[in-house]
Structure 1
Amino acid sequence: MNELAAPPVSARLMRALRLHGDRDLRLEDVAEPPPPAPGEVRLRMHAIALNHIDVWGWRGMAFAQRKLPICVGVEAVGEIVALGDGVEGWMIGDRVAPYGAQTCGVCPACRDGRDNLCENVSGVMGFHLDGFAREYVNQKARLMVRVPDAVGTEDAACAAVTFSTVEHMLFDNARLQPGEVILIQAAGSGIGTVAIKQAKALGCTVVATAGDDEKCEKAKELGADHVVNYSEKNFASVARRVTDKRGVDVVFEHVGATTWAGSLLSLRMGGRLVTCGSTSGVSAETNLMMIFQRQLRIFGSFGASMRNVADGLAKMAGGMTPVLDRVIPLDRFADGLDRLESRRVFGKIVVTI
């Protein structure tokens, strides 16, 4: 007599926040991932930090083909709960900031530590590929950055995109120097608040812009030397006035069309503008004669390297923490995106899992 076959074991379920269509987020029970493959770790996710890339994905602006539904969440912090074969240098219980860009690890840029210039990147988790807004994630061990013990979990959630973006913009690209004057646009944003702290720590003079008086006052409390409500005053005129008509050394730009011309006008001869965003529009007229006559330098800055992530976490461990606008639970993720989209935020919104 043949033995009866054992019934299939039901897959264990976990919570995941998935996007089914434009602005259609659903908190669902989905199957946990399989055991981590060789070279992978399994993470228990703890928190997500919201960014404009999350807003773009929520609004259907993925810039590349993706398959829905997709799990959201681009910037996160988690804890290792399982190790795949061959993983060395990590232990269960280690806290990590996962690097969301799925890089190849073998192209010249990857080998040189310029991860954000990977020639064969397969996508960004939470935007093109399933992201971190779920209880468990399998991730390549080589794409982990260790979180120092001194860094709180909610702060660490802001490392992989926010702090690292500012590190890459200010130091790899603009090469900000002690004592320089910098104009920081949209100072109430997540990267704007970090940029103020980074520049002041270097001994720079900061001119910060924001869209209302309340944000200007908060920027001043963070250390900005001069603040401009750009909805009421011409920030380029202020930048020139506070520098005795010379102009600023560096402009930290990520707003786009509405501030572009003024940002260029704010620069001194030979000044540097670094940009990582275009939230107000992707196209802007540019006075090319001004660019070459004044010998201005413009740097495009996208993402960051894993080294930038580690450098940002080291600064957090030294006391330079991110500004948190609020901390909310996973089921209010869409509320956080709405707040970010409507610019009612000062600093970062962190979502706990």
Structure 2
Amino acid sequence: MPFAIRIHHPGGPEAMSWEEVEVGNPAPGEARVRHEAVGLNFIDVYHRSGLYPLPLPSGLGLEAAGVVEAVGEGVTEVGAGDRVAYAGGPVGAYSELRCLPAHRLLKLPEAIGSRTAAAMMLQGLTSAYLLLRTYRVQAGDTVLIHAVAGGVGLIACQWAKALGATVIGTVSSPAKAALAHAHGCDHIIDYSREDFAPLVREITGGEGVAVVYDGVGKDTFAGSLDSLRTCGMLVCLGNASGPVPPFDPLLLSQKGSLFLTRPTLMHYTAKRADLVALGSELFDVVGSGKVKIEVNQTYPLPDVASAHRDLAARKLTGSTILLP
């Protein structure tokens, strides 16, 4: 029987266990996929810890790539033998084999391998909707990307540059600053040692940036608002430092009629047409070489607890994959 990571209660990395699971034939509308590589993402930590509660017991993981073994009745999107990848629900990617809705799968181009796909799908599709849908980055814009040396950060930085933007990025160490610089970040601020908002104002000649992409949360929220130009947009996409505390919406008008949004990939790809469109744009920008996907860490899937500890400690850079 195949194995998968399961949790029976929320908790730390030790809450995850490597268990035998039964995977039958795909139901109507489903495909059975044998995973070749699985993606690691911060939302997995939120699910495991209970910050984003799941019905328990549950699997974990939202992203993987592999080969379709079989399809259920009525499936037209993919067929047996297709190389595929996916990102988004339902959870359960931390597994050797699983069945899932076929309409969530995207066929992989010949040039993109399974490890690259597993490293880029969630982070790449997230970058796609952030840059092309939530706020459409234009040539000449200046944008601020927090944690720019992380998985989403490195992809979003390269993609924003390809769109003609000037990128300001924050990091938490000199090593991460060097990594961001190597990926084209124009201005790099170590927010663990410097107050980033005044520096953003200085870089932009006092104007502020068009948009802030903030996956850090509590520690950067106030400074992100102070970094925006009039009518700028703060996009909150994560809580790496903890949830943002409640605040008075009047603050948005006081700081320049600002926009604030908390988007999710699941909403932006709920319709298959939107998923396919964003996937096509991701495959194109990666295939063109404008965005390079680097797998900087790999872990055996049964040792995912170590990966979660390193992720929470911010020891990881770029993309990380788990190997079944």
Backbone CA RMSD of aligned residues: 1.9
Shift of residue 168 of structure 1?
A: 1.4
Letter in 1 for 2:100: Q
* Counterpart in the other structure of 1:10: none
Distance in structure 2 (CA, Å) of the matches to 1:89 and 1:207:
40
Corresponding residue to 2:180 among 215, 219, 235: 219
Check the 8 A contact 1:325/1:346 in 2, yes or no: yes
**Which residue of structure 2 lines up, in the alignment, with residue 187 of structure 1?**
148
Q: Is the 8 A contact 1:148 1:314 kept in 2?
A: no
Unmatched segments (≥5 aa) in structure 2: 270-274
1-side partners of 2:246 and 2:74: how far apart? 53
1:213-237 C-alpha deviation (Å, 9 max, x unpaired): 1111211111011100111111111
The CA deviation at 1:318 is 2.4
Checking the alignment, whether the CA contact within 8 Å between 1:96 and 1:145 is kept in structure 2 is yes
Corresponding residue for residue 59 of structure 2: 71
Query: Residue 40 of structure 2 aligns to which amino acid in structure 1?
Result: L
Quote the residue 1:111 is aligned against. Answer: none
Structure showing greater radius of gyration is 1
Residue 4 of structure 1 is matched in structure 2 by none
Determine helix, strand or coil for the equivalent of 2:219: helix
Q: Which residue of 158, 164, 187 maps to 1:203?
A: 164
Counterpart code for 1:221: A
Specify the alignment match of 1:109 in structure 2: none
CA displacement at 1:313 relative to structure 2: 2.8
Give distance in 2, aligned partners of 1:284 and 1:337: 25
Aligned to 2:26: 36
Match of 1:314 in 2: 284
C-alpha displacement at 1:143, in angstroms?
1.8
Cα gap change, 1:312/1:278 in structure 2, threshold over 3 Å: closer, same or farther? same
- Are residue 26 (structure 1) and residue 17 (structure 2) matched? yes
Q: For 2:177 and 2:87, locate their aligned partners in 1 and report how far apart those are by CA, in whole Å.
A: 32
Number of residue-to-residue matches in the alignment: 311
Deviation at 1:286, TM superposition (A): 4.8
Q: Aligned partners of 2:213 and 2:118: how far apart in 1?
A: 23
Identify the match of residue 263 of structure 2 among 301, 326, 335: 301
One-letter code aligned to 1:255: V
Q: Which amino acid letter does the alignment assign opposite residue 258 of structure 2?
A: L
Distance 2:292 2:285 in 1: 8
Deviation at 1:253, TM superposition (A): 1.1
SS in 2 for 1:169: helix
Answer whether contact 1:274 1:299 (CA < 8 A) is retained.
yes
Contact map agreement 1:97 1:159 (CA 8 A) in 2: no
Distance of 2:6 and 2:248 partners within structure 1: 43
Corresponding residue for residue 148 of structure 1: 109
Distance in 1 of aligned mates of 2:88 and 2:223: 33
Question: SS where residue 20 of structure 2 aligns?
Answer: strand
**1:184 & 1:298 partners in 2: Cα distance?**
15
Alpha-carbon distance between aligned partners in 1 of 2:202 and 2:322, rounded to the nearest angstrom: 41
Aligned partner of 2:200 among 209, 226, 239: 239
| Structure 1 position 159, deviation (Å) | 3.9
CA–CA distance in structure 1, aligned partners of residues 60 and 229 of structure 2: 41
Are 1:229 and 2:190 counterparts?
yes
SS in 2 for 1:251: strand
TM-score (norm 1): 0.83
Cα separation, partners in 2 of 1:78 and 1:292, compared to 1, 3 Å: same
SS at match of 1:37: coil
Structure 1 residue ranges, 4+ long, deviating more than 6 angstroms after superposition = none
Residue type at the aligned position of 2:53: F
1:342 aligned residue: 313
Matched residue type, 1:174:
Y
Tell me, yes or no, if the aligned pair for 2:168 and 2:187 is still in contact at 8 Å: yes
Query: What is the match of residue 51 of structure 2?
Result: 61
C-alpha distance in structure 1 between counterparts of 2:249 and 2:103, whole Å: 43
What is the DSSP-based 3-state SS (H/G/I as helix, E as strand, rest coil) of the residue aligned with 2:21?
strand
Query: Which of 69, 85, 104 pairs up with 1:97?
Result: 85
Distance 1:53 1:42 in 2: 24
1:251 and 1:53 map into 2 onto residues whose CA distance is: 20
Partners of 1:189 and 1:347 within 8 A in 2: yes
Give the SS at the match of 1:157: helix
Give the conservation status (yes or no) of the 8 Å contact 1:155–1:321.
no
Amino acid at match of 1:245: G
Q: CA deviation at 1:239?
A: 0.7
Task: Measure the CA separation in 2 of the matches of 1:50 and 1:92.
Answer: 26
Q: Is the 8 A contact 1:215 1:346 kept in 2?
A: yes
- For residue 330 of structure 1, report the CA deviation from its aligned partner: 1.3
Q: Distance in 1 between matches of 2:126 and 2:248?
A: 27
Residues in 1 aligned to 2:235 and 2:174: alpha-carbon distance in whole angstroms: 25
Task: Work out the CA distance in 1 between the residues paired with 2:197 and 2:18.
Answer: 45
Deviation at 1:343, TM superposition (A): 0.6
Aligned 8 A contact 2:201 2:207 in 1: yes
Q: Aligned pair in 2 of structure 1 residues 254, 325: CA closer, same or farther (>3 Å)?
A: same
Greater displacement, 33-42 / 203-212: 33-42
CA–CA distance in 1 between the matches of 2:185 and 2:245?
27
1:118-167: CA deviation from partner (whole Å, max 9, x where unpaired): xxxxxx41xxxxx0222221122222111111112111113442111111
What is the percentage of aligned positions where both structures have the same residue? 32
